[in-house]
Chains A and B, each alone.
Chain A
């Protein structure tokens, strides 16, 4: 499904205008084929609600989260410097992102380096839009009555204490929300953080994503809801390995909401 054209910051600047919010897409959301669908779903939500937004497009770069956590502080500082230069040159004030790792870095780590923005994760953004009545969901929407379990992202949850916003969004979808044994501040990692996404796991008895996916499958949920593109990859792989692709889906909160929107383009 193609999208109406999306304006970049450069486009807005050429018109001499400023958007309400910058959508920070992140590397996964930009390049990973599965995560691109999450990006598109969130962009469609913004478009359907007529929220003036921009992306940086080709000017966006990795925030530096994985290199910093792998130990490469030099490279992190280089990425941060370049991103902050671009963000500040466009006078960016508010950023929304669908990646908890980008969210954490932009919100918590850029201020010390001269990048001060109001940074918000897309689950919180969506929850606010629901609360304000701007998002209208279909009566008996696409997921009504489905059993859904929410997998807490470490960088939303423990890192930034965001546990309830994604759950409130799911509750608004009129689904049956079931919790895994380890949830909220006890939620177990998908295995991708700390740059693990980009290397083979260390030797052990099992993979972290297999362990976590099993816990999600134990809830007998039809849908595993995620709020992070890395978690999505890890849990999707876990579902594949458990050969449960036919009856269990891994979907981002944005995808669930977009499919249930009453508004059309």
Chain B
């Protein structure tokens, strides 16, 4: 009988891991279509960013109570995985509480700490569920999240709540069976655990067989839930738990005000201004297109950003355009970039090059791009090092340089800068007029 269970378990684990790997490969493939721009310089400072921003969640602490609850879920997620390891090994070997003998007295301490964490995660998730759905927090209720994104968020919270409950009920029924001296449960005596023992009064009335059924059901549902969650992750906004790390590593080390240079245009201007110097300067191959019209024109960091976004909306809550009712929402820029990549990945490979659509116009409108003040509040706020502004600016470059699409006032401003060397139509000779008497 146990070998059937072991076989079923192995099949589930194998299929789950295979599907997860396949999906991650497809995401990495989507990201690889972007311009190669992932930096490899200064690894020391980059690792420091990973520790500070991803592992240390520094940005989350801009709101301390929320940060603490988030840390509980995060630590719970990581540490309870040790318990998942035992469950997986039990599943493969057909053993029960495999770690009990090697760990001895340490084992109950370990499980007790898992139970504390499980309770913490449970409480935090219930709070976040109520906060998201019952409290009026603008960034969690905005139109960006209408439909699937809102369900996605709730589904994650409910799954966490269910998984933690299963873990606690599994331990409660197990320890109750131990105290009743039933079968193999009695052979792995751990004694009651700190949190799950409070569930005993609920279960006392159950027969031994019902308890065994409950314990086995919780065990199976818990591990199936985890394998299912693993596979849900890369389809969901929740992928940030993995991608926050590489995203912190690759995020720029320079001041936020610095815009990415375009060496090909630099060279072209040099060629026009000083051909002799340009011929010595080497050649930078011109890009297929100036600026970004579609996802493959963006950098790989931009695309990694899009998959790292957990749609929390701190960017949009801080965006002056969004706050004053403009169409622009930096979160939506990230969500649409990911949508575009997901839609492209669904198409047969030969149709991906030309499906008649593009990120600009079909997913993100010109009006959104025009509303950005480049104030970098979105970049500052993002806890997982995403830069929505960089995408906006690359698309503005495409609009101006490839479509000659700019508002009339900007076109006039370009003319002034080119001819009068100032954005206003003043005579260049008047530039020093402020130094003259009477001014």
A residues sitting closer than 8 Å to B (CB atoms) are 2-3, 5-6, 8, 25, 27, 29-32, 36, 39-40, 43, 55, 57-58, 60-62, 64, 66-75, 77-79, 81-82, 104, 107-109, 112-113, 154-155, 158-161, 185-186, 188-189, 191-208, 210-212
Which residues of chain B have C-beta atoms less than 8 A from A57's C-beta?
431-432, 435
Q: Is the CB of B399 within 8 A of A64?
A: no
Contact bitstring B394-419, A, C-beta under 8 A = 1, else 0: 00111111000011011001100110
Which residues of chain A have C-beta atoms less than 8 A from B367's C-beta?
202-203
- CB < 8 Å: which of B324, B372, B439 contacts A205? B324
Within 8 A of A (CB), among B278-308: 290-291
The CA-CA distance from A112 to B262 in the complex, in Å, is 10
- CB < 8 Å: which of A55, A160, A204 contacts B321? A204
Which of A8, A31, A68 has the largest count of B CB atoms less than 10 A from its CB? A31
B20-28, B125-133, B344-352, B422-430 - interface stretch: B422-430
- CB < 8 Å: which of B261, B269, B327 contacts A109? B261
Given A66-B417, A68-B259; A30-B431 close (CB under 8 Å) = yes
The CA-CA distance from A45 to B177 in the complex, in Å, is 84
- CB < 8 Å: which of A61, A66, A159, A208 contacts B413? A66
The CA-CA distance from A204 to B372 in the complex, in Å, is 13
The CA-CA distance from A196 to B371 in the complex, in Å, is 8
Q: Which residue of A lies closest to B412 (CB)?
A: A198
Check if B273 is an interface residue, CB within 8 A of chain A: yes
Q: Which residue of A lies closest to B376 (CB)?
A: A158
Q: Is the CB of B372 within 8 A of A194?
A: yes
The CA-CA distance from A113 to B273 in the complex, in Å, is 14
Which 4 pairs show the lowest CB-CB distances between chains A and B? Answer: A159-B257, A205-B325, A194-B374, A71-B400
Q: Which residue of B lies closest to A211 (CB)?
A: B324
Q: Is the CB of B406 within 8 A of A70?
A: yes
Which residues of chain A have C-beta atoms less than 8 A from B290's C-beta?
73
Q: Is the CB of A73 within 8 A of B401?
A: yes
Q: Is the CB of B255 within 8 A of A159?
A: yes
Which of A71, A191, A203 has the largest count of B CB atoms less than 10 A from its CB? A71
Task: Quote the shortest CB–CB distance from B420 to chain A (angstroms).
Answer: 9
Which residues of chain B have C-beta atoms less than 8 A from A161's C-beta?
255
Q: Which residue of A lies closest to B424 (CB)?
A: A31
Q: Is the CB of B407 within 8 A of A199?
A: yes
Given A58-B428, A67-B413; A112-B435 close (CB under 8 Å) = no
- CB < 8 Å: which of B268, B422, B429 contacts A62? B422
The CA-CA distance from A29 to B259 in the complex, in Å, is 23
Check if B437 is an interface residue, CB within 8 A of chain A: yes
